[in-house]
A and B are shown apart, each in its own frame.
Chain A
């Protein structure tokens, strides 16, 4: 391995950018593949790049044989994280569910009555106002953000940061009507249609969820779908 490649790898990890180190096991040459660019000792064709990015998306490492080449794809992804705005009833189900699914979980709520350790045992809590909290938490491309408060004075500041962040998922609780009003407010605040379209609302997959735990399940399923599905098929389904 060239020291320069190692330094690039370390830099990508410090910046929490997903990156894959691809080693040609025949020649020992290596290439570092980012989401949008590749650097290194050998070029990868479209098929190979697609395979590398699939490994990254699935957070897998392993050997692939493409044509005559035997490539080892080593995925270095930042940890998955979910930031929940609103220490509400649904959050009490969503936080442990997300934790089980392998996510680091943070619940943000400046309202002391909601954000108690008794209601969220073992879950990291943040008592800052949501926009400040999200800035503090340095949202990256392996972060999902879900707003659950129903209260524009808490949800909107969170969305203001979330919509211009690299988060892979943004979801907001609320009926179609509630969401319509939210969209109007965001337009007024200067957000573009493309930014607003990032919000999954009504939040969660349509599984006719009723109870808080069922709604949490629908949200978790949708986050999983967005995380794992190929970008092209996600666009087709939207």
Chain B
């Protein structure tokens, strides 16, 4: 598994500019989740994001939690999933479960 992403570098650069940032990292997956464990997303204080933790299905919710984490400084674990039945029936690419760890960089 290789990570072509440069999310840590982007986060460090934003910090160096004095911006608040939060990181979201996929820490576990089940089933056919589109992004592997270790995939990352960085969010800045304006809510702008770079990177990805899914095929786009959960990024909105992750950004919301990232903004909260920047406010209260508390890391959080988010779980997302789709009922198996539904996933199999419609054959969603995103039919798995994914856990995302969200933390502010302080």
Contacts and interface: CB of A to CB of B under 8 A. Distances in A.
Q: What are the 3 A-B residue pairs with the smallest beta carbon separation, nearest first?
A: A61-B38, A28-B75, A10-B12
Contact of A74 (B11, B25, B74, B104): B25
A59 interface: yes
B101 A10 contact: no
9 contacts: A3-B15, A6-B12, A6-B15, A6-B105, A28-B74, A28-B75, A60-B37, A62-B37, A76-B8
A9 B38 CA distance: 14
Nearest to B74: A28
Interface residues of B, number: 22
A2 B106 contact: yes
Interface of A: 1-3, 6-7, 9-10, 13, 23, 25, 28, 59-63, 72, 74-77, 79-80, 102
Contacts of A80: 2
Contacts of B104: 1
Given A9-B8, A59-B1, A1 B38 contact: no
A2 B15 CA distance: 11
Given A2-B106, A3-B15, A28-B75, A72 B101 contact: yes
Nearest to B1: A59
A10 B40 CA distance: 14
